[in-house]
Structure formats: C-alpha cells, structure tokens
Chains A and B, each alone.
Chain A
Amino acid sequence: MTELFEGLKAAFLLLVRLDADLVEITLRSLQVTLSALVIASAIALPLGAILAVRRFRFRRATIAVLNALMGLPPVVVGLCVYVMFSRSGPFGVLGLLFTPTAMIIAQVIIIVPLIASIAHQSLRDLWAEYHDLLISLNTTQRQRIATLLWDGRRALLTASLAGFGRAIGEVGAIMVVGGNIDHATRVLTTAIALETGKGNFALALGLGFILIALAIAVNFAIHWLTRTEVEGRW
C-alpha cells in the first residue's frame, strides 16, 4: 500500500517538475502510438467495411482468422518484426531495427486485427440495417463502404480507441524491436519495465499512473473532438 502512495507521490513530483526525461518519453509514447493508430485505422476500418459488405469465397475464414489474431501475442509479433528487420532479415537493409519506426510497425500489426474485428462487428449490424436501401438506390460497392464508414463513425471511434488502448499499454513487442534505448526508443511502458527491474517501484508506479492518465486524457480528447454522446440518440 505504501508503494502505491509513493507511486502517486512520484507521479505528482514528475509532473510538477515537468521532468525533461518524462516529457521526452511521454511524447515518444504518444508519437509511436498515435502514428500506429492512424496507420492501423486507415487499414482496419475499410477492411472491416469490406468484410461487412462484400461476399467472397474465403470471407468467413478471413473473419475467423481476424478474430483469432486479436489475441496475437505481442512478444511474438515483436520477434517476427525483429527477424524481418534484423541485419540478416529481408528488410535489414532499411536499418529500421531499434527505431521508433520499427515500434510503430509492430504496433500496427498488433492492433489492425483488433480494430478490424470490432469495426466489422458494428458495420455488419449497420449493413443489415441499410442493406435494402443501399441496394435499392443502386449504390456501388465503394459508395456502400463510404456510407457505412461515415454513418458508423461513432462505433468505429470505439474500435480505434480500443486499438489505442492496446497500443499505448504495449510493452513486449516494442521492447524487442525498439530495444528501450534511452533518448531513442524509450517509451513509458518500457521505462516502467526498466524501473521495475531495477527495483525502483515508486518511480515505476509513478510512470504507470502517468500512462493511465495519458490514456484517459487521449480518450477524453477524442470524444470531445468528435462530439460523441453530445447530439442525437447514437
């Protein structure tokens, strides 16, 4: 219990002092996670809509695989990305290992199935609602997908926020591909892991509280910006 209070105190002091290292790793956490989120959403949301609207041969198998991939072990993803981007790997020439870019790639791989699955679930329901109307209006596949993405945007926001939650708290993959290098690839989660390893629980907890606060603040900001729950009944 004492350690929790120490942690809160540490978090408070770090924030009050506006510790330079803290600011740096917090900004890096946000940079990596938000970049991964934007890229993953750009892939996963249309993918979810395509799976809802289009009928093709291996559609059900694709959905089953996507759902299964939601539970992808991050450390295994990290290992795969490591192998691909290591000097002897197929993309080794790009020299991306132990850079924030590699961390973003790992996070994109982890959260795409999660966002796509949740997006597909909600867009499938919306498609069931709109099906007859959009068919009757003779819309093209592209128009149907665009309509679902627009009209289902609030549910899709939830899907993206779920991806954000998974990415911001991710440690296994980014530790492997980023290496937790000070002033280069250290982020809040890897810093927490490092401080815990050193037995510095108060600081680790302090960073943990800041991470939680950051996740909540980003969620609030996105809800506020998109005016969710402000108007209408949906």
Chain B
Amino acid sequence: MVKTILPLEISNASVRRRGKTLVGPVDLILAEKGFTTVIGPNGAGKTTLLRMMHGIERLSQGTVTWHGPNAEVRGRQAFVFQSPIMMRRSVRDNLTYPLTLGKTPKTEARQQAEDWAERINLKSALNRKATVLSGGERQKLAIARALIRKPDILFLDEPCSHLDGRATREIEELLQGAHEKGIRIIMSTHDMGQAKRLASEVVFILKGRIHEFSPADAFFDTPGTNEAKAFLSGDILE
C-alpha cells in the first residue's frame, strides 16, 4: 500500500459530450498537500473537472494519473456532491455504509459513526432517517460520510451553495479540520469569500479551460489574466 496516492497529474485531458467540449484540454499537477478551490462562472466546467479528476466522468482524451495502483486509488478518494445524496437509511447507517463496504467490523463501524455524529452535532439524530434532515445537516452528514474512510483526497462540489451562513461556517470548520489532518481538499465554489478563507491555491476555469492556477494570495491580489480580473471584479463573463 502506497503512503499517498498524490500527486495527481492531469495531462491533455478533455471531456466531450455530443460533439461539445465541456472541459479541456487540461494539464494540471496537484501536489501532495494543499487546499485547492476551483472557481469560475456557472457552466464553466467546475463540476466536470472535479468529476474528471475523481474518475466518475469518462475522458474523451488524455490521462488522469494518480501515484498508486488503480485498485487502490478510488478507495482513497471521496466525493461530496452539490446536492448531498442521502441513502434511505438512518444517519447511523449512512455513516457506517462506506465502512461496511471495506469490511470494517460492525462494532468498530458503529463506534466510528457515533464519533463522527458527535463531531457534526448529529449524535441525537443517529437513529433518524437521513432524508428528513435539513439541508445543512445533510451536507454535514455527506462530508462526514466521505471523511469516515479517511481518504487521501476529498473532492467537494459547491458544498455550501444552498446553505445559510451558520451552516456554511460549520462546514468550513469541518473542512479546515480535515485539511489540518493532512487530507488534500479540492473544492469548487462560487463564494469568493469562502475561497479566500480556505484556499491555499486557486484554479480559475472558464469555458472548460483552465485560465489560471496559482497560490490563492497571488490570485486574489494580482490575477494574471484579464478574465480572472474581470471575474474577481464581478463582471459577467460570456
């Protein structure tokens, strides 16, 4: 078993559907450590880029290469979707599900589920159905379910897009905690404030092409492209 599946190398990768290029060609190397935010306007290809990296979007060309054997790679990544997918089970069973796939003993899985439920303030809801939780609670549960397997890398697709300030803060704290524990995070967001608060580096994507990939401070202080400048100043990019 390799120590980490990072760095991630994307080489000349594109995703085309029905003759239209959604993303690419993309060349990108993501290092072992860091908190990357992917920003760009609606329809720029943020979600497709994340899905492409995670391997749930079929490539039309190019390669996405992880540092490790294929059999191991997928199991060491986790993905949190924009609309959290809640299994029709209790909060506890949603949390234990990824562990039971990995043959973790039932008692250990339940213990870990309880620990995580406490961390996300859902301990009192352990036996409630996950589908009746509020939007913020669902997203926290989805993140906890992703983190419970201790992934090397966590992808998040606009995890706070439908949430209020308080829920957003709770999720940011959760993500910062995960990042401090060494989990590599790649997150798409619309929220520039959130990107500034969390990111160590920024990928700016427009019309499926990466226009900028730079440290967060440099990107926000002195964006290198006119498109990035326009985006940061709030212009509508066509």
Contact = CB atoms under 8 A, between A and B. Distances in A.
A136 B79 contact: yes
A231 interface: yes
Contacts, number: 42
A132 B132 contact: no
Contacts of A233: 129, 131-132
B156 to A, nearest CB: 12
Contact of B81 (A126, A132, A138, A147): A132
Interface string A125-146: 0100110110111110001000
Interface residues of A, number: 18
Nearest to B89: A151
A234 interface: yes
A137 B85 contact: no
Given A233-B131, A233-B132, A234-B131, A132 B85 contact: yes
A158 to B, nearest CB: 15
Interface in B91-150: 97-98, 101, 129, 131-132
Interface string B47-86: 0000000101000000000000000001101110100010
B13 to A, nearest CB: 18
Given A136-B54, A136-B56, A139-B101, A232 B85 contact: no
A68 B74 CA distance: 40
A136 B74 CA distance: 8
Given A129-B85, A136-B79, A143 B131 contact: no
B88 A231 contact: no
A130 B85 contact: yes
A232 B129 contact: yes
A129 B131 CA distance: 12
B87 interface: yes
Contacts of A147: 87, 97
Given A143-B101, A151-B89, A133 B81 contact: yes
Nearest to B71: A138
Interface of A: 126, 129-130, 132-133, 135-139, 143, 147, 151-152, 231-234
9 contacts: A129-B85, A133-B85, A135-B56, A136-B78, A137-B98, A138-B101, A147-B87, A232-B132, A234-B131
Given A132-B56, A136-B78, A232-B132, 10 more contacts: A132-B79, A132-B85, A133-B81, A133-B87, A136-B54, A136-B56, A136-B79, A139-B101, A151-B87, A232-B129
